[in-house]
Structure 1
Amino acid sequence: MFQNSCKMQTYVHKAVQCTLLKFLDVFCTAYCSFLYLCFQFSWLAPKWLAWNRFSEGMLRTLEKKILSIVRTPHRGFFVDIGPVVGNSDKIWTISLNTESPKTPLVLLHGLGAGVALWCLNLDALSSVRPVYAIDLLGFGRSSRPNFSHDAVEAERQLVHSIEEWRKEMKLKEFILLGHSLGGFLAASYSIEHPDRVRHLILADPWGFPEKPAEHKDVPLWIKGISYVLKPFNPLAGIRVAGPFGPWFINFVRPDISKKYQMALEDPNLIPEYIYQCNSQQPSGESAFHAMMSDFGWAKVPIVKRIDRLDAKMPVTLLYGARSWVDHSAGDIIKEKRTSSYFKLQVISGAGHHIYADKPEAFNQIVLDACNYTDSTKSNTPMITGPDEQERDEPESDRNS
């Protein structure tokens, strides 16, 4: 009797799971097809989709409000990098403490982000050196050209845009820090332009390991949804939500606003800023879609070329202990760069957005890496880590 009961429960469970999967498959297919038609044929688009379209003025205002908590005088400006991808591409840039003679620090954000999300880090990082934060080409307030649909070419275009920005800024060399997608591009840039990067700092980088052959622990229904949504850009849901975009961001990721609640009085600033950054033409997002393999991995992962990174270039790798990103990059770098400086830091209690989850710990690790760069011109080979840090969360506008 007991065995029959167990068999019946198993049968019912599988039947329910199968039914749910079919429902989700049909629903997602129909919904995504509707969205595709709406954006392809404007006469099918419901009026509410136009209620709150992207506004350059709104994005500028939101950025200014968020960056108002930064006490260090800073300036925002566009850097004309010429016809890199489009006819006349421009990179939005924030600069701080540019009078300092020390090696500058350049910050590259992740997918769907922008310069304002560094607001918890800019004061500390610019305390003793110049800091430049940019909106990557195709993101934030930077130009939105049409990138190649080829993974290798799209990556090359993004890396080339960073190099053209460096030339226009007349930076001979700098410390390069990239988060998530920015970490992937920072590593790629460092491989192609080793003479420009004094220290590579990778903050929870995306796109390092190869995609596993099979994900046995992933539920069937998640695999089904991932398959159905595969043709679409990863942040399409934000644009589809129209005027409900900020609410949608808060609903899907309520933790995003909480990361900044100690510093910002208005809890709606961050979701509204993210919405405005991503309610535009999905230019850089499309480049990411071309480079990704099922979102979590890159089609051309860094592991396949990490051995081309200059052995003299020091590398600091930071991970959030609770991050969803594959942490095997640490083992990859350690294995490939046995005679080079490499420091691995794991920040306890932090997720993927380590710069906002634990800003004090993040800032100190970055400052230590920068100080190491200042202390030596010829970097001594060294491998250290992993270290685990736990710190309590902290808490003139010449900016645009």
Structure 2
Amino acid sequence: MKWLKFVLIPALLALNGCASMGMSAYPLAQLTEKYTDDTSKFLAVDDLIIHYRDEGTGPTLVLLHGVASSLHTWDDWVDRLVPYYRIIRIDLPGHGLTGSDPSTESYEIPYMIDKLEKFLNKLSIDDIYLAGNSLGGYVAWNYALHRPDRVKKMVLLDAAGFPQDMPFIMSFAALPVIGEMAGFMMPKFIVNMNVNAAFGDDDKVTDALQQRYFDLTMRQGNREALVSVFRTMKEQTKNPHLGDRVKEVKTPTLLMWGDQDEWVPLEVMKQFEQALPNSQSIVYEGVGHMPMEELPIQTSRDAHGFFTLGKTLSSPLVLAP
């Protein structure tokens, strides 16, 4: 199989050119200059330097992004919710400006929970509201299970948590040989395909959005870390016991889902509904995998209503059984 990369790489280079093939790591200083602002901070947790933003005052709301994403996915939510909360959002290990962890080759859930726990402890944060999308949602409900005393309420947006088919691009990148290739070469058109597939409305996908996802994928170590995450997810999504402990989560939970999600389908949301004893749900018509980016005004309003009033302000989309 080693011959494959010697055939594919020249062909892809001929089609796309070196600049867009994602074969070189971007300097961290360059990415930091472009993707930080006055609210950006860095905190050492073990061998990892976590990039996060800390904005506003009030009850603490912690936001966790999805796979192959970054804390910037919450920009529009923060704009609307910062008058009411202290909002802390982080680049998860292996993502964004946080980058890969030199002390691990695996980013399984116990590792993610441990890093989130130590991060919050270092900031001396006690009670939190918690919201997570996709992989971040998987981390969120597992963290709520781990620390029910700390998480007051939780929003899961198109969260992983039950067996399902992996998105094709991620499944493909997790394959032997292909994964090793992706560790040193991740073409921009592949990143763009991922971003486009995550949105229900292609018109919401801008050039700047695609560029941000590509740039942060090019941070040193992120490509290798993403392959590790993809492989872990591929293994876990085939595990028939993946969601066995969801029913143990007692935290009041709001499920937000896009009805056009091709990555984590509505069937997964229905399983969460059945398993979570204290939950409510809302489905957004025409929206894909990341409702907070695609429909920020309505989703942030619904999250705020749930946190403060215990109910959403939108009318739920009625689904067929």
- TM-score of the two chains, using structure 1 as the length reference: 0.65
Write the letter of the residue equivalent to 2:44. Answer: D
CA RMSD of superposed structures (Å): 3.8
Is 2:41 the partner of 1:77?
Answer: yes
Once the two structures are superposed, residues 291-335 of structure 1 have per-residue CA deviations (whole angstroms, 9 ceiling, x without a partner) of 22279x2647641111222x3x10110000110113233332333
Identity, % of aligned positions: 16
Q: Distance in 2 between matches of 1:120 and 1:351?
A: 16
Alignment of 1:126-205 (within 5 A): 126-146=82-102, 154-205=108-159
Is 2:17 the partner of 1:58?
Answer: no
Inter-CA distance 300–290: structure 2 relative to 1 (3 Å threshold) = farther
Inter-CA distance 294–159: structure 2 relative to 1 (3 Å threshold) = closer
How many residues align structurally?
304
Is 2:261 the partner of 1:319?
Answer: no
Report if aligned partners of 2:134, 2:157 keep a CA contact under 8 Å in 1: yes
SS in 2 for 1:366: helix
SS in 2 for 1:292: helix
Write the letter of the residue equivalent to 2:122. Answer: E
Q: Distance in 1 between matches of 2:282 and 2:138?
A: 18
Q: Distance in 2 between matches of 1:202 and 1:130?
A: 19
2:280 equivalent in structure 1: 343
Structure 1 stretches of 4+ moved >3 Å: 29-36, 46-52, 146-150, 225-229, 232-239, 247-261, 298-302
Q: Distance in 1 between matches of 2:126 and 2:23?
A: 46
Alignment of 1:1-400 (within 5 A): 30-32=3-5, 52-64=24-36, 75-81=39-45, 83=46, 88-97=47-56, 99-100=57-58, 103-146=59-102, 154-206=108-160, 208-211=161-164, 230-231=175-176, 237=182, 240-241=185-186, 245=188, 249-250=191-192, 253-254=195-196, 267-279=206-218, 280-281=220-221, 282=223, 284-293=225-234, 297=237, 299=239, 302-309=242-249, 311=250, 313-324=251-262, 325-337=264-276, 340-372=277-309, 387-388=316-317
Report if aligned partners of 1:115, 1:133 keep a CA contact under 8 Å in 2: yes
**Unaligned ranges ≥5, structure 2:** 10-16
Report if aligned partners of 1:175, 1:370 keep a CA contact under 8 Å in 2: yes
Report if aligned partners of 2:65, 2:92 keep a CA contact under 8 Å in 1: yes
Report if aligned partners of 2:127, 2:149 keep a CA contact under 8 Å in 1: yes
Q: Distance in 2 between matches of 1:363 and 1:125?
A: 7
Once the two structures are superposed, residues 228-284 of structure 1 have per-residue CA deviations (whole angstroms, 9 ceiling, x without a partner) of 962267796595256xx3x553466457796667xxxxx543222212211231354
Q: Distance in 2 between matches of 1:116 and 1:130?
A: 16
How far is 1:336 from its partner? 2.8
Inter-CA distance 239–149: structure 2 relative to 1 (3 Å threshold) = closer
Write the letter of the residue equivalent to 1:60. Answer: T
